[in-house]
């Protein structure tokens, strides 16, 4: 370090990276979740990823930087069922220790029939995947998180939560309900014990595995999404009191 450097600059250069602790990413084997897993591992976090699919977990592990592989903890389990989330919670606590953060990146995009033509099976499946899974993860893990120092809980959302989409009605409806769930948690007792945020991603996420149409230049990359959510998880995140965050900001 240069002898002539101001003390404040020297301090900034030597400041240790904040400790992100152990973070569980529900949906971490999915598209958005994986971007977050990579970014958290890059920041030194220990990252627990549950998935119903052993194959998806193996594929995720294969794409992780080998030097961070020992901090990626994989768990076959179903956070979208009542028994499943309890088992995931108990296994995490027994095998990995106290969680400091949870990210819920749950439920996939869907588009198809307009509202009056929706089948009961489509409605029920999306309600289950995009809303009930959030309920179970929040209800199951918030009390555990509250035992930790500086706990943080983050949900991912998409643009349809704000914009009624004629061909994606169940996505818009469950997205809006997911947001209200977090707002309701925020005004309940547990909301005073755990830092809460929703991060709404306002564009498609262009990952290395992108196979869709030519992306617009302003669409977010997986790296941008992952880095932003890792910033939110970090103890030194600047907007700690802002419940609803949007990317691009
Ligand atoms: N991908 C994008 O371009 C994009 C853009 C904007 C916003 N987002 C937001 O990102 C979030 C995740 O979307 P995604 O595109 O990453 O979806 P995805 O690739 O399908 O991943 C969703 C994850 O949710 C889990 N999941 C779904 N239903 C479940 C259930 N019933 N029980 C337990 N787990 C369940 C799956 O876990 P398993 O591994 O167990 O199957 C999967 O890993 C959503 O909030 C979405 O709005 C995504």
CATH of the domain at 204: 3.40.50.720
pLDDT at position 8: 56
pTM confidence score = 0.95
- Asked whether residue 4 is assigned to any structural domain, the reply reads no
How much distance in Å is there from the Cα of 126 to the middle of ligand 1?
11
How much distance in Å is there from the Cα of 105 to the middle of ligand 1?
5
pLDDT at position 16: 82
Question: Domain range for residue 194?
Answer: 18-247
- Asked whether residue 130 is assigned to any structural domain, the reply reads yes
How much distance in Å is there from the Cα of 35 to the middle of ligand 1?
12
How much distance in Å is there from the Cα of 149 to the middle of ligand 1?
28
Per-residue pLDDT of 141-189, as tens digits, reads 999 999 999 999 999 999 999 999 999 999 999 999 999 999 999 999 9
**Nearest atom of ligand 1 to the alpha carbon of 171:** 47
Residues touching ligand 1 (Cβ under 6 Å) are: 27, 29-33, 51-53, 56, 78-80, 105-109, 128-129, 133, 156-158, 201, 204-205
- Asked whether residue 6 is assigned to any structural domain, the reply reads no
Report the distance separating Cα 28 and Cα 57, nearest Å.
9
Count of domains forming the chain: 1
Residue closest via CA to ligand 1's atom 37 equals 27
Report the distance separating Cα 69 and Cα 64, nearest Å.
6
Per-residue pLDDT of 41-86, as tens digits, reads 999 999 999 999 999 999 999 999 999 999 999 999 999 999 999 9
- Asked whether residue 8 is assigned to any structural domain, the reply reads no
Residue with tokens 């004629």: 166
- Asked whether residue 217 is assigned to any structural domain, the reply reads yes
- Asked whether residue 11 is assigned to any structural domain, the reply reads no
Q: What is the mean pLDDT of the chain?
A: 95
Report the distance separating Cα 89 and Cα 97, nearest Å.
10
Helix residue ranges per DSSP H, the chain? 7-14, 31-42, 54-63, 82-95, 120-127, 133-145, 169-186, 222-233
Per-residue pLDDT of 1-22, as tens digits, reads 344 456 555 555 667 889 999 9
How much distance in Å is there from the Cα of 26 to the middle of ligand 1?
9
90 closest CA partner among 103, 80, 77, 101? 77
- Asked whether residue 131 is assigned to any structural domain, the reply reads yes
- Asked whether residue 13 is assigned to any structural domain, the reply reads no
**Nearest atom of ligand 1 to the alpha carbon of 160:** 47
């Amino acid at each position: 370090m240069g002898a002539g450097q101001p003390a404040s600059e020297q301090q900034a250069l030597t400041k240790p990276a904040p400790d992100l602790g152990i973070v569980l990413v529900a949906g971490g084997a999915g598209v958005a979740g994986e971007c977050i897993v990579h970014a958290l591992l890059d920041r030194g976090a220990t990252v627990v990823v549950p998935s119903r699919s052993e194959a998806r977990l193996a594929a995720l592990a294969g794409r992780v930087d080998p030097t961070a592989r020992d901090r990626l903890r994989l768990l076959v389990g179903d956070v979208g069922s009542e028994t499943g989330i309890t088992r995931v919670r108990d296994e995490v606590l027994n095998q990995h220790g106290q969680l400091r953060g949870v990210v819920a990146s749950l439920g996939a995009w869907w588009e198809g029939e307009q509202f009056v033509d929706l089948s009961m099976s489509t409605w029920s499946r999306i309600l289950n995947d995009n809303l009930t899974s959030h309920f179970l993860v929040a209800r199951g893990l918030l009390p555990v998180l509250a035992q930790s120092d500086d706990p943080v809980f983050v949900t991912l959302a998409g643009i349809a939560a704000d914009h009624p989409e004629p061909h994606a009605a169940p996505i818009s409806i469950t997205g809006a309900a997911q947001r209200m769930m977090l707002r309701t948690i925020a005004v309940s007792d547990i909301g005073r014990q755990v830092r809460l945020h929703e991060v709404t991603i306002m564009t498609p996420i262009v990952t290395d595995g992108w196979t869709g149409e030519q992306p617009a230049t302003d669409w977010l990359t997986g790296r941008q999404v992952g880095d932003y959510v890792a910033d939110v998880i970090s103890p030194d995140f600047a907007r700690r009191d802002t419940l609803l965050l949007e990317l691009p900001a």
